[in-house]
Amino acid sequence: MTTARDLMTPGAECVGEKESLADAARKMRDLDVGALPICGEDNRLKGMLTDRDIVVKCVADGGDPNKTTAGAFAQGKPVTIGADDSIEEALRTMEEHQVRRLPVIDGHDLVGMLAQADVVQAAPGRAGRTVSEISEPK
């Protein structure tokens, strides 16, 4: 059985919940990524922050990304996948929550990130349905 651990990008970096959105944007630029997990001082996952969040929910609304923290966007329980969960479970989770990226956790530790593209390559028969389910408004 192929698991999330088999397909994930290991060594995911977090943005700290007290770091500014400007710092988060620079980290995204430097890492060439469009999303970062938000981690608390306890190293627990608090949520996800996307480049779109920064632009649409802060800058476009007149917010100051130098004064707004990443933690302001950590709302509710983050959607994750266990490192040893199957690819089918990852696909179901992505479809159900309409997300394209999942933080991969082992216990409470963040061990990697799993992207829609990673999973679709491993399960090409489900590709069209998965992309459609993730993209379709609910």
Domains of the chain: 4-135 (3.10.580.10)
Strands (E), 29-91: 35-39, 45-50, 81-82
Would you state the pLDDT for residue 122?
A: 77
On the question of pLDDT at 133 being above 90, the answer is no
Which residue is it, tokens 């679709």? 120
pTM: 0.82
Cα 114 from Cα 102, distance rounded (Å): 5
Taking residues 34-49, what's their average pLDDT?
90
CB proximity list for 62: less than 8 A, separation 6 or greater: none
Closest residue by Cα to residue 99 from 52, 43, 55 = 52
Strands (E), 15-131: 15-16, 35-39, 45-50, 81-82, 101-106, 109-115
Q: What is the mean pLDDT of the chain?
A: 88
Closest residue by Cα to residue 52 from 43, 61, 44 = 61
Taking residues 47-72, what's their average pLDDT?
94
Would you state the pLDDT for residue 84?
A: 97
Is pLDDT larger for residue 104 or for residue 132?
Answer: 104
Taking residues 57-79, what's their average pLDDT?
91
